[in-house]
Structure 1
Amino acid sequence: MTDTNPANPTLADRITGSLVGAAVGDALGGPVEGWSPEQIAERHGGPVRGIVGPWHGDAWRTARPIAPYHKGDGHITDDTLMTHALIRVYGVVRDHLDAHAVADHLVPDLMTVPRWIPELEREELPLHRLFLAEKWLVARIHYGHVDPREAGSGNIVNCGAAMYMAPVGLVNAAHPEAAYAEALDIAGAHQSSYGREAAGVFAAAVAAACVPGADPASVVRAALGLARDGTRAAIEAVAEAAGGRTDPESARAALRAAVAPFDTVGPDYRTPAPGARRPSRLHAVEELPIALGMLLVGGGDYRRTVLGAVNYGRDCDSIASMAGALAGALHGADAVPREWAKAVAEASRTDLHAPARELTAVTREIFHRDRERRRAHETAFAGLTAGER
């Protein structure tokens, strides 16, 4: 447990809120991922209001296109598996990370250490659960021996790197510029173009959410202050569409219309357009702008923000995970409904708080190292400029 102060959550409280909030959002969005808001409402008799079962019920093992994954019943997905894997790398390195840390630690972790995979209901190598865009890390770095800083080139451009960048924002809590730079370096091993940009901007947004007194508007301003090209334009468009709206359900169509010109996947999420997921300076991943838009519409309230993201459909486990990370960082662990967090932890057989404790300790160590490095630089610079007027 962490001490909480609703008016100004502590570092530990914000890290816990962000990571637990991301995992819960991921688990809530998993069972309805890939479907439209209309299909979700028809399947569930209205919008999803909490943890639901698999889309195809007991036929989840064989029903396409979900098989063989048990999405639903509170199970976390690959978004959280990758987030926790990155935290383990921070736990080993205990300093800022780069693309080489991905090659030296993250890739071997995914390839060699069996872990409990909730969606497979068995212990398995994490690699065997990952989507092809994440398997790219292994193919390019382990088998292809590609320079880690360039390994992301050629991959499909999606939110695969952005979806697990919350720890980078938390390690750089209250310093969005540093979070952006570190995430871009890390994501170079995985993604390129606007997929890599989304990773940097999402990390920056999480860092901005940790600033005392932050609110959804300040988080979006920080994201816009760093975002480039189509990513910046998409966030601007979605933020404008979100302006003045307070009901996530009625805002969905407006947010989708705002992001559609920048989204390469097209209207049918399960049948991407021929030009989908290719590098471009004009486009953006859909997930990050929508997560920020839902944060604005939901006023930063965890429940409203995350449920808005879940019922948006499409890649809603990643959208809800990002939105949950941001809302949790803003308001701390108590913002995440305890009944949801407890149910997800039990269903997934995963301690959702242990990664937060580890990352909090590492974050403090890194901050002290940064301060020592900054002071050493100041001393050296003073020597360089001694005697100057």
Structure 2
Amino acid sequence: MAGTAGPVWGRREQQDFRSRVRGTLLGAAVGDALGAPVDGLDLDTIRRTHGAEGLTDLAPAYGRRGAVTHHTQLTLFTVDGLIRAQVRRDTGAWHPPTDLHRAYLRWATTQRDWGPDERRKEDGWLAREEWLYARRDPARPLLLGLGDATMGTLDAPKNPGEAGPEAAARSAPFGLLVGWDPQLVAQLAVECAAQTHGHPVAYLAAGAYAVVVHALARGDSLDTAVQRTLALLAARPGHQPVTDALQRALGAVRQGMPGPDRVTELLGNATAEGLLSAAVYCALVGEDVRHGLCLAVNHGGPSAAAGALTGGLLGALHGETALPPAWLAELEGRPTILELADDFAMEMTQGPALHTPATSSPAWLTRYPRGA
């Protein structure tokens, strides 16, 4: 892919970018963890269990408070794949969808094996994190799409009838490629979504979400980010359902007090474009990050995905310091998420100091091998 030259990074710009990268990844994970205990429960059940206001704090899921689901797992492997793509560029090989597919296959291994295989040095450090070897109700299209080594493409997508939100929910990291043109960000997110979710609604929602995050990470307001995304979507075949969903989110902001009924209406049948619409709405109307995330998870739909999508937007918009500290303190995998976020920020701002075709940091290549 051409046209990916990055910006000039001063110290202030690097610090802002790192805060937004951390905010995006931690925000998506916190939203995922907040929604996990009530995922798929109807609103009456949520209120009977957690009170009249619904869920307003982390609650136990998978045996602990702050547990994340497969959405966060796959988001982390998305980041890993993007770093690996940059590192492999030194070899003359430059096809990021292939590097992302290899990363997603490493995630699929965590869903089958009991723990990491220390002999597989080419897997890099993330695949050796033992806490990731936990099955957190991964959606069937993910396991089917990554069940063999064949990579789905736009011409031959995996699961062409699947329109669920799982591909979008792992796509925030594409938006953190702030040196890329938005069209390229959208294209990469779309191509990688088609590896598991081949319905146009699913892969275009993933592309649209990545472009919204991209604009936020560059400093735009959320409203401006959505408008930019709508303009970009207009040239894409099959865009209308996703375009309509984003426009419904903008329109809903002016329709009275936010609440579960409004979110449920935007969710529709809980396919990808509905989740995207609800997430944008919750991020727009939330009084703060906590309020926006609580609004995103209190409904009868896929609360973990809605929380993850909303959290990624709010984190990219406000940076890490806006996230609720008490929730971060209990978040599963927080040290890993922070380490990966900082590695991503360092790679994107200082990559040439870490590796070139002629010379490279051995420690960096151990973490992010140029192999598979």
**TM > 0.5:** yes
Pair 173,51 (structure 1): closer, same or farther in 2 beyond 3 Å? farther
* Aligned mates of 1:333, 1:108 — CA distance in 2: 28
- SS of 1:161's equivalent in the other structure is helix
* Aligned mates of 2:33, 2:203 — CA distance in 1: 24
- How far off its partner does 1:147 sit? 5.3
Specify the alignment match of 2:100 in structure 1.
102
Larger-Rg structure: 1
Specify the alignment match of 2:261 in structure 1.
253
Q: Is the 8 A contact 2:292 2:310 kept in 1?
A: yes
Given candidates 254, 260, 263, the residue that maps to 1:243 is 254
* Aligned mates of 1:318, 1:97 — CA distance in 2: 28
Q: Is the 8 A contact 1:209 1:329 kept in 2?
A: yes
Specify the alignment match of 2:279 in structure 1.
291
Identity of matched residues, %: 22
Specify the alignment match of 2:312 in structure 1.
325
Q: Is the 8 A contact 2:25 2:315 kept in 1?
A: yes
- How far off its partner does 1:129 sit? 5.4
* Aligned mates of 1:45, 1:104 — CA distance in 2: 44
Residue 89 (str. 1) matches residue 87 (str. 2): no
- How far off its partner does 1:105 sit? 3.6
Q: Is the 8 A contact 1:111 1:127 kept in 2?
A: no
Specify the alignment match of 2:213 in structure 1.
206
For 2:224, the aligned partner's letter is: S
Name whichever of 329-338 and 352-361 sits farther off: 352-361
Specify the alignment match of 1:79 in structure 2.
71
Q: Which runs of 5+ in 2 are unaligned?
A: 1-10, 88-93, 117-129, 234-238, 354-372
Name whichever of 150-159 and 199-208 sits farther off: 150-159
Pair 87,115 (structure 1): closer, same or farther in 2 beyond 3 Å? farther
- How far off its partner does 1:235 sit? 1.6
Specify the alignment match of 1:305 in structure 2.
292
Given candidates 317, 328, 341, the residue that maps to 2:328 is 341
* Aligned mates of 2:242, 2:26 — CA distance in 1: 26
Pair 24,349 (structure 1): closer, same or farther in 2 beyond 3 Å? closer
Pair 244,220 (structure 1): closer, same or farther in 2 beyond 3 Å? farther
Specify the alignment match of 1:39 in structure 2.
45
Pair 355,215 (structure 1): closer, same or farther in 2 beyond 3 Å? same
* Aligned mates of 1:19, 1:104 — CA distance in 2: 20
Q: Is the 8 A contact 1:90 1:97 kept in 2?
A: no
For 2:247, the aligned partner's letter is: E
* Aligned mates of 1:366, 1:183 — CA distance in 2: 22
Pair 295,105 (structure 1): closer, same or farther in 2 beyond 3 Å? closer
Given candidates 219, 227, 231, the residue that maps to 1:221 is 227
Specify the alignment match of 1:195 in structure 2.
202
* Aligned mates of 2:286, 2:131 — CA distance in 1: 37
* Aligned mates of 2:197, 2:331 — CA distance in 1: 29
Q: How far does the alpha carbon of each residue in 1:218-250 deviate from its partner, in whole angstroms, 9 at most, with x for none?
A: 1221232233210111121232122264x443x
* Aligned mates of 1:358, 1:367 — CA distance in 2: 13
Pair 128,342 (structure 1): closer, same or farther in 2 beyond 3 Å? closer
Q: TM-score, normalised by structure 2?
A: 0.75
Q: Is the 8 A contact 2:152 2:194 kept in 1?
A: no
What are the residue-to-residue correspondences of 1:19-58 with 2, within 5 Å? 19-46=25-52, 47-54=54-61
For 1:353, the aligned partner's letter is: L
* Aligned mates of 1:128, 1:13 — CA distance in 2: 28
Given candidates 321, 341, 356, the residue that maps to 2:341 is 356
Q: Is the 8 A contact 1:238 1:258 kept in 2?
A: yes
Pair 29,255 (structure 1): closer, same or farther in 2 beyond 3 Å? closer
Q: Is the 8 A contact 1:29 1:317 kept in 2?
A: yes
Q: How far does the alpha carbon of each residue in 1:70-89 deviate from its partner, in whole angstroms, 9 at most, with x for none?
A: 4x611011110001111122
- How far off its partner does 1:93 sit? 2.1
Q: Is the 8 A contact 1:172 1:178 kept in 2?
A: no
Residue 234 (str. 1) matches residue 273 (str. 2): no
Pair 206,175 (structure 1): closer, same or farther in 2 beyond 3 Å? farther
* Aligned mates of 1:290, 1:115 — CA distance in 2: 36
Name whichever of 233-242 and 173-182 sits farther off: 173-182
- Provide the aligned C-alpha RMSD in A: 3.1
Q: Is the 8 A contact 1:259 1:289 kept in 2?
A: yes
Given candidates 109, 112, 115, the residue that maps to 1:111 is 109
Pair 124,78 (structure 1): closer, same or farther in 2 beyond 3 Å? closer
Bigger RCO (CA 8 Å, 6+ sep): 2
* Aligned mates of 2:80, 2:27 — CA distance in 1: 18
- SS of 1:353's equivalent in the other structure is helix
- SS of 1:171's equivalent in the other structure is coil
Q: TM-score, normalised by structure 1?
A: 0.72
* Aligned mates of 1:319, 1:191 — CA distance in 2: 17
For 1:49, the aligned partner's letter is: T
Number of residue pairs matched by the alignment: 315
For 1:194, the aligned partner's letter is: V
